[in-house]
Amino acid sequence: MANTPTPHNKAQLGDIAKTVLMPGDPLRAKYIADTYLEDPVCFNTVRNMLGYTGTYKGKKISVMGSGMGMPSIGIYSYELYNFYDVDNIIRIGSAGAIQDEVELMDVVIGMGACTDSNYAHQYNLPGTFAPIGTYGLLEKAVQAAREQGTTVKVGNVLSSDVFYDADETAFDRWRSMGVMAIEMEAAALYMNAAKARKNALCILTISDHLYRHEGLSAEERQVGFGKMMEIALELA
């Protein structure tokens, strides 16, 4: 029996490119398609999780929302890797900084993704799994940033299951281990990629700082996120 379409994606096999950019917000996926892609075609509207395929500098590329949190990106990235023959998924999203040297609008690439999630439990591993991005994509992203003139910070991020954490000291402990920023999806994406023998990378823009109580305005987000999007598009 064919695996496509799925309960979450109405695309047929072949509708989606080998490389997919995944912002959390489906409306940001639409913005990317409308702004950067030539001849974009919408392949999914199920649950309003919009997805589009077009070309960028002559290369076929897709963009699709992932939703918020690891369960959501876990579903969509699993299906893309295993049912739609996607090879590369690049998460592009926002993050909250927890290190002093990380500033608003900085672009951060998650070389590794710590997590407080139990997502890895499904693999029944005899220890703790360390989710990491694909080095080839990481190397290309850093080079694209250099050519763009954008300084990026590369290191460890935290993929948290909790947005409003009842433990008010939790961030202090992650900060003490050098974790740069907090987001909610990368670890599940990296684990799905590892299991499927596919490629993944998480590129983030710092939208707020949890220790300085700073945050970007809507206009600043648009400018800062544009740099991140353009780096990711070069990975197709």
**Residues that are catalytic:** 208
179: which DSSP letter?
Answer: -
Cβ within 8 Å of residue 85, ≥6 positions away: 13, 18
CA 220 to chain centre: 20
Amino acid at 138: L
Which pair of structure tokens corresponds to residue 60?
């076929």
Number of H helices, E strands in the chain: 6, 10
Q: What are phi and psi of 67, to 5 degrees?
A: 80, 180
Q: Is 168 helix (H, G, I), strand (E, B) or coil?
A: coil
Q: Do 178 and 155 form a contact (C-beta atoms < 8 A)?
A: yes
Choose among 78, 79, 87: nearest CA to 60: 87
Exposed e or buried b per residue across 87-101, where buried means at least 16 C-beta atoms within 10 angstroms of its C-beta: bbbbbbbbbbbbbee
Measure Cα distances from 163 to 65, 69, 78, 157, 185 in Å: 19, 9, 23, 15, 12
Q: Is 8 helix (H, G, I), strand (E, B) or coil?
A: coil
